[in-house]
Structure 1
Amino acid sequence: MSNISTASLRSIRAPKQYLRRRTGACLIFVRWLVACFAAYLCWAAVPAAATPATPSTGVLEFLSGEIAFADKNEIPEAGWEKRQTPALWLSDEARAKLAGKLTAWGRFRFDGRLLPDEPLAIYTENNRERLTVYLNGVELFRNYRSATSQTLGWNRPYIIPVPQKLLRDVGNELVLRVGSDRQFSLGVGTVKVGSQEVLGRLYNYQQFWRVTGSAAANYAMLFLTFAAFVMWMARRSETEIFWLVMTGLLWFVRDFHFFAEESPLDPYWFQQVSYYSLYFAVAASLSFCVAFLKLSNHRRIIAMLFAIGVALCIFRVAITSTNRTDLATSLATLLVSLLVCGLIIREWFRNRSLESLALVAVVLFGTVLGLHDIGRIPNVNWWQGLGFHVQPFTGFLLFSVFLLSVGRKYLRALTEVETLNASLEERVETATHALAASERARQKIEVEHAVGIERERLMREMHDGIGSNLVTALAVVRKQGEAPVAEETLQRALTDLKLTVDSLAPVEGDAVALLANLRHRMEPDMEKAGVKCVWRVEPCPSLDWLDAPNALHMLRIIQEGVGNVLSHAHATSITIACCPSKKDGRDGVELVLTDDGCGFIAANVSGNGRGLSNMHTRASQLGADLRIESDLGAGSKLSLWLPVEMGGRKSARSTSG
């Protein structure tokens, strides 16, 4: 097989090998993600109660306590029941026992001698919703201003310093009072007592991921949503930007209750908006993915996604009206996400773009995060997972994919601009050279035009001035019967003037036309001398360098040759020929003048007169090759070879034989 064939096969195999590597990388990534998810489930499925309450870290965690239900401001004396804690879902039980607002109490007893000798604090989280903390009957903390405050405490951690004067060696009693409106959830969360430094680190961690980080991610997403809206207003044909805007707005509405300290509107409606916006936020997110990748039938898919969102809302209303959990709708949302993820994976196998792969990763990761948060719902309580909800970061992940796409488009645009600039610079340089050449050509034309005008003027002056005088003198000589020599001299002078004028006329490199003018001027003289002129001309290439001065050199050489024949050769015929000819590989035109006269010996005439010397000088000026051949009784031959290109002129030389 030839080298060309081998190279062709390599060029065909290379894309296939590249596709195999890309496909393998994708499968490895998916397997890694599934393995991580499985490991996470195994870890998260370990119940929280398995953590022992031990003071070895300087912290006591209460895994059990006493719970009571009483809608009062004083710590109840009766009605306490032993329970495992945290007890996050007390709503149904409280509604059954209380007629008004929901209130639950949690009581925990501990020995002060088990705590380290350093500043202490109480840490608690996941309390729904209004929280009051008592230590040994003294109120230490509350997270609301008044009984009517619409406080949202379910997702906020709290740390309360413990005054040393309230702490006892034995018999310490820590009481939590939680309360909420009747239509909301109620629960006593996690409670820990111990080192203020250790619990402070836990508080900072939880505060960041539950509140501060969540708020930062969502407000950043809201800012990006505004930027995307401005972009969409300028480019409304790009529907993916519209769905990105809807994604940002809906996820912000959904996530606001994670970091809001108080309800911004009626608590009931705020709760409903927070719950039901989830389905439309997921639908908008998936619609963005579908529109971004321009999937086939993407409009129909988007309509189906929002129809499913409406159906899930109706289904949730039906389920929650029976006081059952809405776990089914949450799991259905994850199933829809996985189905759309399958479409995205299929699209990735088609185009192998980085954006498609990033969307696959985000949707899969978002589904895992959604399952993580479902398991942390109080009335589901599959696991505690990371200890905080991760859903508030989902929308920002989608925006990161959009930013990735925008960044790649920006880099591609920069590359295209740089390429365009280079192309424009090249085109400008080419145009500049063309303009310079055009300007030179224009100046040349102007010069040639000026020269042509001056040539015309000189021709008129020579014709009307010198020519008229010569014609007049010739007429006077003929009328007065002067000596024939004078008449012949005047006639030759007139013919010579006409040839000079002819040489000034533009010939555009046509040597044949120039010879025709010479024949026209000299034929009368040859007829008077009884010499027959034979004309043999073939089509010849143009001689671009044949301007007026060079034309005059050529005419003078031929004129001198004809004059010598008429004066000395006693010939009866002259043959003038012109034909294309090559010499030393160069194109040219050859002019040949032959006669049937007596001929001559070059050695006998080389020193007399300047005729032959002038002919050689003129030939050298033309870069031509002049040859004169003659022998006694055999006539003579003058050969003038003219190059088409003027480069590499050679000196004229003469040979005789």
Structure 2
Amino acid sequence: MTGLRRTPACQHRAGVWAWALGLMLMLMLMLQSAGVQAEPVQVRRAWITEAGPSGAREREVRLPDAWEHTAPRRDGAVRYRLDLPDAALQVERPALYLRRVGNIFRVHLNGQSVAEVGAYTRPLPNYNQQPQLVRLPQALVQPSGNRVEIEVIGAPRREAGLSTVWVGAIAELEPEYERAMDVQVRGAWLLASACATMGALGMLLAWRTQQSMYGWFAVANLVWAWRIAALSSHDAGIWIQALQWAFEMSYAVFVGAIAMFLLAMVGRDHTIGRQGLAAYIGITLVLSLANAVLNLPVLRTLHLLLTLLVTTAMAIYLAHYSFKERSRTGALLCLGALTGVAFGARDWIAFRLHHDYEAYTGARYAIVLLLFVMGWRLVEDYARTLVRLREMNRNLQDAVDHKQHELEQLFETRREIERQQATTAERDRILREMHDGLGGRLVGAIALAQQLGQQPPTEGNTLQELQLALGDCLTELRLSLDSLEADQRTLGEALAELRFRVEPSLRAAGIRLVWSVDDSAMSAELAAGATLQVLRIVREAFTNIIKHAEASVVRLTLRRETDWLELSVLDNGREQRPDRNIPRPAPLPSGKRGLSNMRTRAASLGAEIEIGPTAEGWGVQVRLPLA
């Protein structure tokens, strides 16, 4: 088998491809090495120089270094020296990231000043929560042996110190710095603004509603807003000690006020709770004053531990209340209190046990949930108020409709009264017209007929008949006038009036009227129309007796039996006359509808009527129901 040989042309092409591949690999390695940034380095060792009784001396410390615990009586300026890793500085735009430092500090790189924050004054007590990003000039960076000196100016009880230091490219450190600024600075100012706003709103609500719950909430929020804002103030002048004490006491005042607010919201702000919170405020006052004099960190540790215990007790009580009462408000408040306990316990462990100067406080944000609960409570109260207003409006509308209905009824009643008054007035007018007009003329005609009756008769009994007819007309007219009287009368009074009207006619016809009316029947009352119908029945009976019976005696009887009235008109008739030879007046012409009218009138009254002969003569008996 013959081996293959490469031609010169093939060898040339292979060399070109190998050279191109090598060039590409070299370019990739160069680009990769140019784009790689060294990771930031955390520096935890430092050498501190501070003045002592024997002069300045330098010693090594581990970062973070919290003055309150490592040197509680430290005062004035302290210099920290840090050796920076060379690789961390061999980057574009090197920088230092200080999570906490202060209160006032200076930064020097290789003996040259690169940053200065604050002035040589006595700062307020604060937690130095503001992070710092210090740019290091590239021109001051040495190939090796770079040294940074950080001069920190503080005072006892001022929470001064230095956290660990991060060294690296500013592009790597800036995101962490911005996150810390958002949480610790911008978020703090936003929270302070929210607390101040809610505090002012609570004051207005307490003033307008006179409810202590809103007052306690306002005090708690305003105190918390001041506490957050006080961390950013650095020059207190001669008031530094007073502000120090006020800052420490503000935590206890806030917890006491917020506890009273929570108890008031669930309706349990009784004497025992108030006395317990007053005792807590008194104890914290003693501890803060003792710490201001003695400068013992353990006193502040006890102060914060007592606050944590009070907050925990409040959370347990609210949990018990919400479980027992099934209260949604109590559950939300319990959740807020538990959140405060969780943040407070975390801060107490980090700051008081671990002495972690690098940690940030989180307890300030525990109030956010309470702000939400308060906002929810305001919305709930507003919604409940709207519901009550709607209910009140409905009740008011119902009351207005009811009153309007009553007014309409009163108006209708008033109109009915006015109509009745108008009817009465018109009836009185008709009465007067009939009495003065027709009645007067009938009386005159009857008087004239009586005068003519004294003369010798010329036309038989025509004049006598005219006289009787006119008398009947006058009697009927008087009955009609009596029925139109507006005053209500009993049946006995109406019959008595009829007797007065009819008895002259009976006497003129030679008929004696015997009147028999029981006392119990005299007081019976009927409607005006019913009384008129009864009178017309009796009047018709008398008229028939005068015209047809040729009687000498007629008896009218009225008696009462429970709910019935019995009325009878009975005459002795023609056969009972003792002397048949006495001349009698000629009978008057009779109508054929008298008896029928009597039965019709009785039927309209719902009465029973019997008309006809009896053993004693002719009688009309009416049985009338009183109902």
Q: Per the alignment, do residues 94 and 221 of structure 1 end up closer, same or farther by CA in structure 2, a change over 3 Å counting?
A: closer
Find the counterpart in structure 2 of residue 276 from structure 1.
249
| Letter paired with 1:103 | V
Find out whether 1:336 has 2:310 as its counterpart. yes
Find the counterpart in structure 1 of residue 85 from structure 2.
110
The CA distance in 2 between the partners of 1:619 and 1:168, in whole Å, is 140
Describe the superposition over 1:10-31 as per-residue Cα deviations: whole angstroms up to 9, x where unpaired.
xxxxxxxxxxxxxxxxxxxxxx
Worse-matched range after superposition: 565-574 or 198-207: 565-574
Partner residue of 2:98 out of 124, 145, 153 = 124
The CA distance in 2 between the partners of 1:301 and 1:287, in whole Å, is 11
User: The residue matched to 1:376 in structure 2 has which SS?
Assistant: helix
| Letter paired with 1:179 | I
The CA distance in 1 between the partners of 2:387 and 2:297, in whole Å, is 60
The CA distance in 1 between the partners of 2:177 and 2:523, in whole Å, is 103
Find the counterpart in structure 2 of residue 26 from structure 1.
none
Shift of 1:425: 0.8
Worse-matched range after superposition: 435-444 or 227-236: 227-236
User: The residue matched to 2:105 in structure 1 has which SS?
Assistant: strand
User: The residue matched to 2:64 in structure 1 has which SS?
Assistant: coil
| Letter paired with 1:204 | E
User: The residue matched to 1:184 in structure 2 has which SS?
Assistant: coil
Shift of 1:355: 4.2
The CA distance in 2 between the partners of 1:454 and 1:625, in whole Å, is 30
Describe the superposition over 1:65-90 as per-residue Cα deviations: whole angstroms up to 9, x where unpaired.
3232268xxxxxx9463x44323337
| Structure 2 residue runs without a partner (length 5+) | 1-35, 52-56, 455-462, 575-589
Shift of 1:155: 0.5
Q: Per the alignment, do residues 88 and 316 of structure 1 end up closer, same or farther by CA in structure 2, a change over 3 Å counting?
A: closer
Partner residue of 2:49 out of 65, 69, 78 = 69
Shift of 1:443: 2.1
User: The residue matched to 1:62 in structure 2 has which SS?
Assistant: strand
| Letter paired with 1:124 | L
The CA distance in 1 between the partners of 2:290 and 2:374, in whole Å, is 32
Matching of residues 548-559 of structure 1 within 5 Å:
552=532, 555-559=535-539
Find out whether 1:456 has 2:431 as its counterpart. no
Shift of 1:426: 0.8
Find the counterpart in structure 1 of residue 286 from structure 2.
311
Matching of residues 406-485 of structure 1 within 5 Å:
406-482=378-454, 483-485=463-465
| Letter paired with 2:176 | L
| Letter paired with 2:226 | V
The CA distance in 1 between the partners of 2:304 and 2:155, in whole Å, is 24
The CA distance in 2 between the partners of 1:553 and 1:84, in whole Å, is 127
Q: Per the alignment, do residues 181 and 303 of structure 1 end up closer, same or farther by CA in structure 2, a change over 3 Å counting?
A: closer
| Letter paired with 2:540 | E
Q: Per the alignment, do residues 539 and 429 of structure 1 end up closer, same or farther by CA in structure 2, a change over 3 Å counting?
A: farther
RMSD: 4.5
Find the counterpart in structure 2 of residue 486 from structure 1.
466
Find the counterpart in structure 1 of residue 153 from structure 2.
179
| Letter paired with 1:567 | K
Shift of 1:189: 1.3
User: The residue matched to 1:326 in structure 2 has which SS?
Assistant: helix
Contact 1:628 1:636 (C-alpha < 8 Å) held by counterparts: no
Shift of 1:596: 6.4
Worse-matched range after superposition: 288-297 or 413-422: 288-297
Q: Per the alignment, do residues 301 and 326 of structure 1 end up closer, same or farther by CA in structure 2, a change over 3 Å counting?
A: closer
Shift of 1:282: 2.5
**TM-score, with length taken from structure 2:** 0.72
The CA distance in 1 between the partners of 2:244 and 2:343, in whole Å, is 21
Describe the superposition over 1:160-204 as per-residue Cα deviations: whole angstroms up to 9, x where unpaired.
456677778876655544332466343211433457566444333
The CA distance in 2 between the partners of 1:446 and 1:323, in whole Å, is 96
The CA distance in 1 between the partners of 2:216 and 2:444, in whole Å, is 102
Q: Per the alignment, do residues 322 and 228 of structure 1 end up closer, same or farther by CA in structure 2, a change over 3 Å counting?
A: closer
The CA distance in 2 between the partners of 1:523 and 1:190, in whole Å, is 137
The CA distance in 2 between the partners of 1:357 and 1:523, in whole Å, is 99
User: The residue matched to 1:179 in structure 2 has which SS?
Assistant: strand
Find the counterpart in structure 1 of residue 584 from structure 2.
none
Find the counterpart in structure 1 of residue 258 from structure 2.
285
The CA distance in 2 between the partners of 1:121 and 1:643, in whole Å, is 118
Find the counterpart in structure 1 of residue 67 from structure 2.
89
The CA distance in 2 between the partners of 1:244 and 1:153, in whole Å, is 25
Q: How many residues align?
A: 555
Percent sequence identity is: 23
Contact 1:121 1:196 (C-alpha < 8 Å) held by counterparts: yes
Contact 2:288 2:299 (C-alpha < 8 Å) held by counterparts: no
Contact 1:157 1:206 (C-alpha < 8 Å) held by counterparts: yes
Shift of 1:437: 1.3
Describe the superposition over 1:111-144 as per-residue Cα deviations: whole angstroms up to 9, x where unpaired.
54799x8887543212122234455666554433
Partner residue of 1:506 out of 471, 486, 496 = 486
Worse-matched range after superposition: 341-350 or 303-312: 341-350
The CA distance in 2 between the partners of 1:62 and 1:154, in whole Å, is 20
Describe the superposition over 1:512-556 as per-residue Cα deviations: whole angstroms up to 9, x where unpaired.
65455445534554565345454466599976xx456x7655543
| Letter paired with 2:464 | P
Contact 2:607 2:624 (C-alpha < 8 Å) held by counterparts: yes
The CA distance in 1 between the partners of 2:541 and 2:179, in whole Å, is 114
Matching of residues 18-97 of structure 1 within 5 Å:
59-62=39-42, 64-69=44-49, 79=58, 81=60, 83-89=61-67, 92-93=70-71
Find the counterpart in structure 2 of residue 366 from structure 1.
340
The CA distance in 2 between the partners of 1:272 and 1:310, in whole Å, is 9
Describe the superposition over 1:40-87 as per-residue Cα deviations: whole angstroms up to 9, x where unpaired.
xxxxxxxxxxxxxxxx9985351523232268xxxxxx9463x44323
Q: Per the alignment, do residues 630 and 133 of structure 1 end up closer, same or farther by CA in structure 2, a change over 3 Å counting?
A: same
Q: Per the alignment, do residues 229 and 94 of structure 1 end up closer, same or farther by CA in structure 2, a change over 3 Å counting?
A: closer
Shift of 1:325: 5.7
The CA distance in 2 between the partners of 1:534 and 1:502, in whole Å, is 22
Find the counterpart in structure 2 of residue 256 from structure 1.
229
Matching of residues 502-581 of structure 1 within 5 Å:
502-508=482-488, 514-515=494-495, 517-526=497-506, 528-530=510-512, 532-535=514-517, 538=521, 546=527, 552=532, 555-568=535-548, 573=554
Q: Per the alignment, do residues 296 and 93 of structure 1 end up closer, same or farther by CA in structure 2, a change over 3 Å counting?
A: closer
Shift of 1:431: 0.8
Q: Per the alignment, do residues 276 and 304 of structure 1 end up closer, same or farther by CA in structure 2, a change over 3 Å counting?
A: closer
The CA distance in 2 between the partners of 1:140 and 1:122, in whole Å, is 11
Shift of 1:442: 1.6
Shift of 1:448: 1.9
Looking at CA atoms only, which structure, 1 or 2, has the larger radius of gyration? 2
Contact 2:291 2:297 (C-alpha < 8 Å) held by counterparts: no
Find the counterpart in structure 1 of residue 6 from structure 2.
none
The CA distance in 2 between the partners of 1:501 and 1:247, in whole Å, is 92
| Letter paired with 1:251 | W
Partner residue of 1:375 out of 328, 335, 349 = 349
Describe the superposition over 1:605-647 as per-residue Cα deviations: whole angstroms up to 9, x where unpaired.
xx97444565677678xx6446654456675656586896xxx
